[in-house]
Structure 1
């Protein structure tokens, strides 16, 4: 009956599980069906079959924490959303998490007064993105610079670190944060990060939390490991989650926005209500260098000297970037509402969020159905 009630409550009330000790066997499915799991380091573990059964069945020797400890589920399986050092910290995490959430799906998230002005300029954002389009930087600086000071609460911080998910406040209003992290795997979308983003977006949509997305994505992770692991199916979850969401959707294109990964990350094509881009944004079907190699292939092949070919490729790459990949082209086609200076991002988003706070989307054009079928 517990599992059934977990499912019946899903999307109706937020469900949070605190694992403070052993949780094994069939009991693990109750927290697995909940929205958030907090595990306590050094005292909690979560697994279906314990070490003795594992050893008897397949001869593998592990202890409880190697098999299903807090660090394992926080970094490897993605089952743990938060890790606490002790029970008291676990309770504190739950209290903070619940402060961002409504009591049920019929309510809006709580709005609080803030001393952080919504029109506060953030000049340090002007220097965040490097001049080299391939150089990494820390997206946390962007997220924390835009949100109300000290309000960002990250979810699944140690798992799929090429994506950032969490909650924060903007002008006192709760927002769901989704971002690519160029500091880790260049911010690409892979199997785990796709699952992480899709799960967070669907939760926030279920509980009326506006979605704020920061985009710097070069594409999907290539290679046989990802393809054989089902990157197509997992990547489709992100597209489904954003398309399904009816809450206000605001998107900031910080730098790279390439191909299908750009579309998946809360783009106008998936129903984003408000999209802005920084001057550093590159919106294109692929990277400028990749496009230049295809468009000017014959010219490049005609040059035999490797150094001269590299110089010519750099020239063609810059030509493609300036003509086709800049944000003003995207704005002229309606994919972007405005190109803004980074320092103005907080002010612009706060104003847009206030404008969208009464949004109610009823999709009367969608044929009646029992429920959609998200790729799983």
Structure 2
């Protein structure tokens, strides 16, 4: 008797594993895509994945759905371990009715969301679906609502990662949009509210699927996606890398990685020479002598801030977020002495590092996400201004810039700023200034902290004196130099307490390391109020 029953169970399990059948699995592979279960196998540590609700299937018989019914109803859900940590997952199966979302399909996703929320563990939601299952009508729309509600409830509580590896259209787009991070893959990922045919009918605009909602569009223009990869294999490796910087929930601290020996001959020699000159001891891993070569002392010359980040952070630890969007600001996760940190840095290579509306949105969301998950913030400042012009004003630079101010002010995690060169006007305030709540603000000796650049300030403040001068250019040059000497140096700000300490560039990593250690147990009780943790 038991043997017969076990045989029945085994047959049902085999049917579940067949999904939409061999032909549809082959078609999935020919389109350059993995199956739902292959993706799960790629994500989780071998042998750790446990499936739940595998026997659930649709109850609808209309429109021939009774002949398409498959146990699992087009989505695989369960939990397992990624690098030894518990993670929950839902993976839509395009081989089953196009991965369309119906009543029980959505119920399975909602249940695994509830489990992740209750267990305070991350959830990965893999999207590969043709959208709402039209045959199930309002039940499909209700299913989306149930998922969105749980996405919102879990926002800022547990890490939520959406992976788009196929179509994701219509209402389905909003679940990934509420998640903390979205991953996409070139050529196979598609996200849009309405498809090309509807766009053509409604607004008489012709476009391809790729032009409308491909991975490159969302990586460079809309800013919808945070990470883009060439193939699914590298994409899922990226998901695992991101998780290594994040805690299981807001109740935990981020994981710590043991620091490898990064000492090399160049650093050791520079360290030795520096020690002889200064008579001080510094760990060779913390010495940043290269910074004076990376960052020109002439504030008009550009440099790549990514080189600065690589120098002050643990070797090869920086994971950039939205690297192809709003390139004038750089955000991402890194490690300093093995500890996770969130980096926010102006990029002088693009728009001279000024802040525009897209950069403000990008930074604000990242700052709030770091704050949710207890990731300290390290801010590298070299900013001339909020970007001027009618285009910026009409796009709402005031509204978007305010989001950045709000995010830094609200954040209760450790916040440390390093002013490398320019820190002008309102943009200086927005980049985690002391009076906006920064715990520590360091400045390099050549830092320029002022309302605006010397040339602009002199042209406004001394316009009459310049116009009345016999040699206008000589007078202007003299006044510019006097203004720089008197106002545009870090010691004025330090004397007023707006800068914690003026430091040498080569001390930057050691100062950050010591500051993060000191701030490790920082606790700030937020004002009790009714608000969510949804990143802006």
TM-score, reference length from structure 1: 0.95
Counterparts of 2:458 and 2:508, CA distance in 1: 31
1:6 correspondence with 2:163: no
Partner Cα distance (1:150, 1:28) in 2: 33
What stretches of structure 1 of length at least 5 have no aligned partner? none
Q: 1:236 aligns with which of 402, 405, 429?
A: 402
Counterpart position of 1:369: 529
Check the 8 A contact 2:494/2:500 in 1, yes or no. Answer: yes
The answer to whether the Cα contact below 8 Å between 1:128 and 1:137 also exists between their aligned partners in 2 is yes
Pairwise CA distance, 1:86: 0.9
Shift of 1:112: 1.3
1:318 to partner: Cα distance:
1.7
Alignment partner of 1:31 is 2:176: yes
Specify the alignment match of 2:291 in structure 1. Answer: 125
- 1:97 alignment partner in structure 2: 242
Offset, 1:309: 2.4
- Between the aligned partners of 1:371 and 1:74, the Cα distance in structure 2 is 30
Superposition map of 1:158-237 within 5 A: 158-237=324-403
Taking the aligned partners of 1:230 and 1:95, their CA distance within structure 2 comes to 36
The answer as to whether partners of 1:13 and 1:105 remain within 8 angstroms in 2 is yes
Cα distance in structure 2, aligned partners of 1:375 and 1:144? 27
Pair 1:55-2:232 in alignment? no
The 10-residue stretch of structure 1 (115-124 or 214-223) with the greater mean CA deviation from structure 2: 115-124
3-state DSSP of counterpart to 1:243: helix
Q: How many residues align?
A: 370
Alpha carbons of structure 1 residues 284 and 142: separation in structure 2 relative to 1, 3 Å: same
Q: Distance in 2 between matches of 1:85 and 1:199?
A: 25
Once residues 352 and 203 of structure 1 are traced to their aligned partners in structure 2, the CA distance between those partners, rounded to angstroms, is 21
- Following TM superposition, by how much is the alpha carbon of 1:116 offset from its aligned partner in structure 2, in angstroms? 4.3
Alpha-carbon deviations, 1:274-322, whole Å to 9, x = none? 1100112111111111111122211211136xxx423322221121111
Query: Aligned partners of 2:534 and 2:176: how far apart in 1?
Result: 21
Work out the CA distance in 2 between the residues paired with 1:232 and 1:314.
33
Q: Is 1:102–1:110's contact at 8 Å kept on the other side of the alignment? A: yes
Matched, 1:359 2:525: no
Q: For residues 426 and 513 of structure 2, what CA distance do their matches in structure 1 show?
A: 28
Could you report, residue by residue, the CA deviation over 1:324-376 in whole angstroms, capped at 9, with x for unpaired residues? 1100111111111111111110011101111111111124xx4x432389997
2:310 pairs with 136, 144, 152, which one? 144
Greater RCO between the two (CA within 8 Å, min separation 6)?
A: 1
Superimposed CA distance per residue, residues 119-171 of structure 1 (whole angstroms, 9 cap, x where no aligned partner):
52111101222232211111111111100010000000000000000000000
- Equivalent pair of 1:18/1:39 in contact (CA under 8 Å): yes
Name the residue aligned to 2:28.
Answer: none
Partners in 2 of 1:38 and 1:360 — Cα distance?
A: 32
Q: Distance in 1 between matches of 2:163 and 2:535?
A: 28
Structure 2 Cα separation of the partners of residues 34 and 97 of structure 1: 14
Superposition misfits of 4+ residues, deviation over 4 angstroms: 116-119, 372-376
Post-superposition Cα deviations, 1:251-270, rounded to whole Å, max 9, x if no partner, equal 00011101111011011011
Q: 1:111 aligns with which of 245, 256, 261?
A: 256
CA distance in 2 between counterparts of 1:372 and 1:41 reads 33
3-state SS in 1 of match to 2:286: coil
Cα distance in 2 between the residues matched to 1:170 and 1:319: 39
CA distance in 1, matches of 2:340, 2:403: 24
1:20 CA displacement: 0.6
CA RMSD of aligned residues (A): 1.6
Match of 1:348 in 2: 511
Which stretch has the larger CA shift, 114-123 or 178-187?
Answer: 114-123
Specify the structure having the higher radius of gyration (Cα): 2
